[in-house]
Structure 1
Amino acid sequence: MFAVPRAGKALIGLLALVLLFSLSSQARANPRYAAIVIDAETGTVLHAANADASRYPASLTKMMTLYLLFEAMEKGLMTLDTAMPVSAHAASMPQTNISLKAGDRLKVRDAIPALIVRSANDVASVVAEALGGTETAFARMMTDKAKTMKMTSTTFRNASGLPDSAQTSTARDLAVLSLRLMKDFPQYYHYFSTQSFTYKGRTYNSHNRMVRNYPGVDGMKTGYIRASGFNVATSAERDERRVIGVVMGGKTAQSRDQHMASLLDRSISRATRIAKVSAEQAPAAAKLVVSTETVRQTVRQEPQTRAPAVLQRTSQSLPIEQSLITDELGWAVQIGSFRVPEQARDRASDAARRLNDVALAQIAVSEVEISNRKLFRARLVGLEEAQAKNACQRLSRQGMDCLVVKLSGS
């Protein structure tokens, strides 16, 4: 065995101390920094740094304000044409704002881009008062909603993200919120890519340069207060892989964006490698292309009464099986993609059992090839739009990740 000279050991020890000091110096230089990147489909954490450390969310707060607004619209309590009154409190909110005046009325269709593009604090207060009566009451609603999403380290005190020492969150919690916005309200997600909007003759441009400058980014939100530094939540899709990233505590908007771009590059590459390895490790004999199962659920149904799954094993893709997915009318709830077909079927079956008051659900497991890797995608199909959205929301509340999908035949 090669023996390290005493002088060499001393040098190695010195280098280790220098490296440790360097890292600790960086932490001291930017104690507000935190970041996380997750695979949107599998939930795999691809990068994390201080992901559970308490931070100020700043205007990333407005993502929860939008979540509750979208939820109210889904419940029929609001429409795009609902005109919300502007109080003196809302009109008094400091920049950034759209100069609302007390007594004005603001339509929901204008409020949404104002929150996303302009990050308007006055608009956040208008929405809060319209839904909660007062902004304080609405902040309690926001916190309660965060807890149901398992954002256990998040507390809201206002709807805008303006400075409040008690309003805190984490990079991990904000990634959860970003993902839930996408999954629970896919019909509204396109708003997060909006780059400009016009209100009362004035055009406002987005602060989110990631959407313009990074290929594959199609939303979400930026934020800044002095106590937080520059924050951003980002969703990006490339090579059929979607990731959600959150960076907090940037020293400048430019350095924050550059760091996010670097994290996205590395994380998408890592997600692709993980999926490839998982697909290669799947048993070669398991060649289930599609398994469909009609599950009739009642509250009193015992497990042994369920119809058994029909497993169709084949060494090649069958057009008939593919048509079960592509020609199906309506909407689906996508549960995830898995490297083993039985795992996909079991996961979908578990989702169907959780929805025990759905009269009829079809389980569909399809083999998909993504970047030369084979995965098995699990869905509940044969649903109407409202059923699919409601089902996914209920599954999410139970801790099961899902995505509402409009089938291509619809």
Structure 2
Amino acid sequence: MRQALSGIVSKSAFPLKTIMILAMAMTFVVADVASSLAAKSAAIVVDAKTGKVLYSANADGRRYPASLTKMMTLYLTFEAMAKGKISRNSPVVFSAHASAEAPTKLGVKPGGSVAVETAILSIVTKSANDSATALGEMLGGNETNFARMMTAKARQLGMNGTVFRNANGLPDPGQFTTARDMATLGIALREHFPQYYGYFAQRSFLYGRQRINGHNRLLGRIKGVDGIKTGYTRASGFNLVSSVNDGNRRLVAVVMGGTSGGSRDNQMAGLINTYLPRASTRGGGDLVAKADSNAISSLAKVLLPKHDATTPDEKPVAVAEADTAVADDATVAQGDSEDEDTAQAEAPKLVVPAKKVKTVIVSAPKVATAQVVAAYAEPTPAVDPVNTASVPPGWAIQVASSPKQSEAQAFLDKTIKQAPKVLADASGFTVAFDKDGATYYRARFGGFGSKDAAWKACTALKKKKIECYAVQQ
């Protein structure tokens, strides 16, 4: 190197010592850049039959989930379906807030609606942010309440390193998770809702006359891969949770912070090829304990960290890719929109033959004694439930309507201050509706199990000079 530099310095105005210092500085700069990219990386491979961790790198470091967030949105959706609160044909109304979410999105106008199944399919394929928000508002009354439900459910599942702030995973510095927690959620989705898990294997679906293709390019490329979810923002890098089932063995693997979609997919493929043969052919009991309370009829009073204290680790240890992984391709895109359609560089898209949408229903196995694997066995904090009837069936009390959602929400806040005892077991939420081409917002309180209960509460409010009426959801 010194000889090469000597050749350069003979034609340069700078002395050799200066050039040597510059060369060393450039080496450190390149190393810092590589380190900053790798610093986002985290990965874990879990035997989904035994819970044994087969591979782990930075699995407990805080990372931004991006669209992996939608896995929890779908968990709560499946839970509502399993308990009969909603069906796959229930309408999901898109508020102005949901319709205004950044791409990728389904593009439903404010006041419009789609069936629950359509919303699910748009999430597992297109990673539609507007659909995720609309489902969250449907299940939680508003997205803030739903995020609290998501976080509470995470605690109940043993995901103690996760906080949710929204239903779709669009950038929020207060929303974070870990690779281990995402593996827990991936396992729980299959164990708790086998009858709905087939949605994650959907590669495309028809929306009107448009065929929408999925982002998960490992489906059909790696034998045994049957889901689950991709994710990308500029801050998170490229994320992927994969479930693999070869008939005898099952894995759930997580890769977070990839520098491109292609390199992330290649790393995942390497992990699967390496560790699937090492997975057990025995076992099969539940690994993730089911939550005792109904996340649709309960709104957890979880204590969320302050907004400025929840960013991912600033100096995590870099993770090395599996030996069989292919070298990274191009770097990530600019901007923070979900999902991977916004990335400048991606692996070639998988050509998926057109096929009709099919809902796969799998017979639920007999419930085994729930056990929590040591890796997920941290204590779960208690949850204080607050009822909400923001999804049908149920009864609610309407107290106002306004052309502005903020005004409707302000009226809810004012009402609960005026009558805290009357509404102690209720939850406020807003519902968007169209009138003469304009969007308005109804201010309602849900959580009433019968018409009589709703009318009784309304009568008590009227005694406090608060106008209201009962309405069935």
TM-score, scaled to structure 2: 0.54
One-letter amino acid of the counterpart of residue 242, structure 2:
T
- The match for 1:335 among 257, 260, 285 is 285
Question: 1: distance between equivalents of 2:211 and 2:135?
Answer: 21
Provide runs of 4+ in structure 1 moved above 6 Å.
Answer: 22-25, 397-401
Question: 1: distance between equivalents of 2:179 and 2:225?
Answer: 18
Q: Structure 2 vs 1, CA of residues 334 and 248 (structure 1 numbering), >3 Å: closer, same or farther?
A: closer
The Cα RMSD (Å) is 2.8
Shift of 1:87: 0.6
One-letter amino acid of the counterpart of residue 395, structure 1:
A
Q: List runs of 5+ in structure 1 lacking aligned partners.
A: 1-21, 280-332, 338-350, 352-384, 402-410
- The match for 1:81 among 89, 94, 106 is 89
- The match for 2:181 among 149, 173, 178 is 173
Q: Structure 2 vs 1, CA of residues 99 and 239 (structure 1 numbering), >3 Å: closer, same or farther?
A: closer
Would you say 1:53 and 2:61 are equivalent positions?
yes
Question: 1: distance between equivalents of 2:206 and 2:101?
Answer: 20
* Higher normalized contact order (CA 8 Å, seq sep 6+, divided by chain length): 2
The answer to whether the 8 A contact 2:286-2:370 is kept is no
The answer to whether the 8 A contact 1:231-1:249 is kept is yes
Q: Structure 2 vs 1, CA of residues 82 and 140 (structure 1 numbering), >3 Å: closer, same or farther?
A: same
| Structure 2 counterparts to residues 388-399 of structure 1, below 5 A | 391=367, 395=370
Q: Structure 2 vs 1, CA of residues 80 and 29 (structure 1 numbering), >3 Å: closer, same or farther?
A: closer
Shift of 1:200: 2.3
- The match for 1:141 among 129, 149, 153 is 149
One-letter amino acid of the counterpart of residue 40, structure 2:
R
What secondary structure does 1:260 align onto? helix
Q: Structure 2 vs 1, CA of residues 396 and 146 (structure 1 numbering), >3 Å: closer, same or farther?
A: farther
Would you say 1:263 and 2:271 are equivalent positions?
yes
The answer to whether the 8 A contact 1:33-1:247 is kept is yes
One-letter amino acid of the counterpart of residue 125, structure 2:
V
Corresponding position of 1:110: 118
Shift of 1:212: 2.1
Would you say 1:65 and 2:37 are equivalent positions?
no
Q: Deviations over 1:264-294 (max 9, x none)?
A: 111112225xx7xxx9xxxxxxxxxxxxxxx
Question: 2: distance between equivalents of 1:157 and 1:248?
Answer: 19
Q: Structure 2 vs 1, CA of residues 48 and 336 (structure 1 numbering), >3 Å: closer, same or farther?
A: same
Would you say 1:32 and 2:53 are equivalent positions?
no
Q: Deviations over 1:177-208 (max 9, x none)?
A: 00000000001111101000111221110000
The answer to whether the 8 A contact 2:50-2:284 is kept is no
Corresponding position of 1:156: 164
Would you say 1:208 and 2:216 are equivalent positions?
yes
What secondary structure does 1:38 align onto? strand
Q: Greater strand percent: which structure?
A: 1
Corresponding position of 1:219: 227
The answer to whether the 8 A contact 1:149-1:397 is kept is no
One-letter amino acid of the counterpart of residue 130, structure 2:
D
Q: Structure 2 vs 1, CA of residues 225 and 111 (structure 1 numbering), >3 Å: closer, same or farther?
A: same
The answer to whether the 8 A contact 2:255-2:264 is kept is yes
Shift of 1:162: 0.2
What secondary structure does 2:206 align onto? strand
Q: Greater helix percent: which structure?
A: 1
Corresponding position of 1:97: 105
What secondary structure does 2:43 align onto? strand
Question: 2: distance between equivalents of 1:241 and 1:23?
Answer: 39
Shift of 1:400: 12
Q: Deviations over 1:129-168 (max 9, x none)?
A: 1000000100000000000011000000000000000100
Question: 2: distance between equivalents of 1:260 and 1:123?
Answer: 27
Shift of 1:238: 2.7
Q: Deviations over 1:58-83 (max 9, x none)?
A: 00000000000000011110001101
The answer to whether the 8 A contact 1:34-1:248 is kept is yes
Q: Deviations over 1:39-92 (max 9, x none)?
A: 000000000000000000000000000000000011110001101211101100
The alignment of Structure 1 onto Structure 2 pairs a total of residues equal to: 274
Q: List runs of 5+ in structure 2 lacking aligned partners.
A: 1-29, 290-362, 377-473
What secondary structure does 2:114 align onto? strand
Shift of 1:239: 6.0
The answer to whether the 8 A contact 1:221-1:233 is kept is yes
What secondary structure does 1:243 align onto? strand
Question: 1: distance between equivalents of 2:98 and 2:69?
Answer: 16
Corresponding position of 2:429: none
Q: Structure 2 vs 1, CA of residues 25 and 78 (structure 1 numbering), >3 Å: closer, same or farther?
A: same
Shift of 1:334: 5.1
The answer to whether the 8 A contact 2:46-2:253 is kept is yes
Corresponding position of 2:136: 128
Between 234-243 and 121-130, report the one with greater CA deviation: 234-243
| Structure 2 counterparts to residues 281-360 of structure 1, below 5 A | 335=285
One-letter amino acid of the counterpart of residue 61, structure 2:
A
Q: Deviations over 1:355-409 (max 9, x none)?
A: xxxxxxxxxxxxxxxxxxxxxxxxxxxxxx88x67x55x83689999xxxxxxxx
Question: 2: distance between equivalents of 1:33 and 1:400?
Answer: 20
The answer to whether the 8 A contact 2:93-2:114 is kept is yes
Corresponding position of 2:255: 247
What secondary structure does 1:68 align onto? helix
Question: 1: distance between equivalents of 2:371 and 2:72?
Answer: 16
